[in-house]
Amino acid sequence: MIEKLIRKLFFPSVNFTSHKRMKFAKYIRTGDVKTIDVACGGGSFAVVAAQKGNRVLGVDYDQSNIDLARRYIGIFALDPHRIRFEQRDIKTLAAIGETFEQVICFEILEHIMDDDRIVGHISKITSPGARLLVSVPNLHHKPMYKEDVSPVENGDHVRFGYSFEQLESLLGKHGFKVKQRDSCAGLATQWATSVEAYLADKLFSPKPMPRWISMALFTMLSPVTFLDTAVGGEDLSIFVLAEKESASQKPIAG
């Protein structure tokens, strides 16, 4: 009972940027929409999609993420016939053998060397008119504490971020036309994130920060993040809403 209450209270997590990113949930379509959440993590956006009436499949490579996401089905009393989570390698998305009307793809492309291939797979499992929601780090944000870029795929970021133009070009190659832009997590949120990372590194590394301390720190610093608009500066996360064009809508080369 206590665990359920804590999960609901701190949903989606004790991560400042994750909470700010929930603003993008407003772009998820409402109703009987067949949706896939690619690299769903703990399943927060898949849960919101299900609450909006979608039929949802969440996929992630990490089984521990899938286990956590499945727990949310009971925590939020969701219909298990309308939301499911599967452990899958997103580099083989096309093998799912299903077509979706909506794809959620948040904070994953920056982890993949061949991001073009992932978008290509997404294109293969969507039909014309399908909605694609993408969130990635902003290329122009200020580096945060120990925010490194890895030269190899190891779970860390392999690129610092994308500009809106780079992201739109990548999606456009696979038939997606961007309809709307958005962003979140300004300098105040980035400062709070760096403070948390600094304390975790100096006080607890190599072990993770104890959960109760993470929750206490999140509670204390969250009010600071509401200063994002006042402080200004580049947001940490950028978002685009795109739609899959039909063959007749694509521009003819030459």
Q: What angle do CA 173, 155, 161 make, to 5 degrees?
A: 45
pLDDT of residue 2: 79
Domain assignment present for 251: no
CATH number at residue 51: 3.40.50.150
Model confidence at 247, pLDDT cuts 50, 70, 90, reads low
Average pLDDT over the chain, rounded to whole? Answer: 94
Q: What angle do CA 48, 50, 55 make, to 5 degrees?
A: 140
**How far is the C-alpha of 208 from the C-alpha of 205, rounded, in Å?**
6
Domain assignment present for 133: yes
Task: Please compute the mean of the pLDDT values over residues 10-39 and round it to a whole number.
Answer: 96
Domain assignment present for 209: no
Domain assignment present for 36: yes
Short-list 141, 92, 137, CA closest to 111: 137
Residue with tokens 């093998």: 95
Say how many domains are in the chain. 1
Model confidence at 225, pLDDT cuts 50, 70, 90, reads very high
Q: Whole domain around residue 150: which residue ranges?
A: 2-185+235-244
Given strand 55-60, what is the order of strands in its sheet?
Answer: 83-87, 55-60, 34-38, 100-106, 126-137, 237-244, 176-184
pLDDT of residue 252: 43
Task: Please compute the mean of the pLDDT values over residues 8-22 and round it to a whole number.
Answer: 93
State yes or no: pLDDT of 253 exceeds 50.
Answer: no
Model confidence at 6, pLDDT cuts 50, 70, 90, reads confident
Model confidence at 189, pLDDT cuts 50, 70, 90, reads very high
- DSSP-based three-state secondary structure for 54: coil
Domain assignment present for 101: yes
Domain assignment present for 215: no
State yes or no: pLDDT of 251 exceeds 60.
Answer: no
Check: CB of residue 31 under 8 Å from CB of residue 61. Answer: no
Check: CB of residue 22 under 8 Å from CB of residue 44. Answer: yes
Task: Please compute the mean of the pLDDT values over residues 227-249 and round it to a whole number.
Answer: 91
Per-residue pLDDT reduced to its tens digit, 153-180: 999 999 999 999 999 999 999 999 999 9
Domain assignment present for 197: no
Q: What is the pTM of this model?
A: 0.93
State yes or no: pLDDT of 24 exceeds 60.
Answer: yes
Q: Which two tokens stand for residue 184?
A: 């979140």
Check: CB of residue 7 under 8 Å from CB of residue 69. Answer: no
pLDDT of residue 249: 58
Domain assignment present for 120: yes
Task: Please compute the mean of the pLDDT values over residues 107-135 and round it to a whole number.
Answer: 97
**How far is the C-alpha of 148 from the C-alpha of 106, rounded, in Å?**
19
Instruction: Considering only residues 251 and 42, tell me which one the structure prediction assigns the higher pLDDT.
Output: 42
